[in-house]
Structure 1
């Protein structure tokens, strides 16, 4: 479980690609202080498991499903990434409930300066927009943000200078792909309210019944 409060920006040191998978080596500093092999780390909002660690960073495996659903497949050595360790039980909940399980991706459609803030407009499929509400929470590349505006095929967030400076969002431009995780509460509510399909009545005719009756 994460909060969407990015702890530091790391750097992709190397990528070892398989047929449908990859192993990322990620340079980091702050999060290494208590990171152990097996711990969860959100990398651009994607929950990965640390499989190795050295004095300058850690490694993590990325499976086929993750590459298909997220933007991690587009990373190259030198790419900057947002990093957050799993939330400690005694920590402050500064953002919102973030699982690290990406729902899909969006495309930055436009950026607009608004005094000291920058508006980012993200175009994304309707299948994700149904879980995004104005003034609700959304996670963009692992960053907990508030939805400031909502349209039929896109949404917008207003980002303060601090957030842009300490995350990779400040380096994003129109056309860039971002990872999106919608509010987990909305998805659970929809599941609970959706009626279960009625069980189809069974005929009671089995192979044993047919044999016993001469068929």
Structure 2
């Protein structure tokens, strides 16, 4: 029995080393997947995040990373399904909610007009009051505009402008207002500024 304290310490030390190694393994693999995503190597990022999920199924971050890689690769249905899995694992995870709103809004543009409206409306009802809902108004405006409804499109983008006054959409609406006033110089200035701004914002992320 007198050897038990020493054995106990050895066991604890071994467990600690295993846990540290496990944490380092996850961190390094996650960093590599994130780097692939940053490098726009989306297929590689997808493969790495899938491997992370297989090895560390209890972690939520790889699901968000995988979903975002799908989203950036244009695989919107896969992105949505992955963010739904993230929310199943962690119903309060705000990153998953924000990403699902983003992917769901973008997916609406690939739908018919009516189906797109229904998708956006369902997300608004599912996440009432969420600060990312401006993204849905952004995509709602695009959906209206794609189908030739300029008035409803401008109404949606006006809501975005009020919610995100520094966004490219807000600046674009200033161009629309300048055009209505017949101020061609201001219209052109705001329009060029909006194009530059929009190119650098991943829909308000």
TM over 0.5: no
Higher relative contact order, chain-length normalized (CA < 8 Å, sep 6+): 1
TM (normalized to structure 1)?
0.23
Higher helix share: 2
Bigger CA radius of gyration:
2
If each structure's strand is expressed as a fraction of its own residues, which one has the higher value? Answer: 1
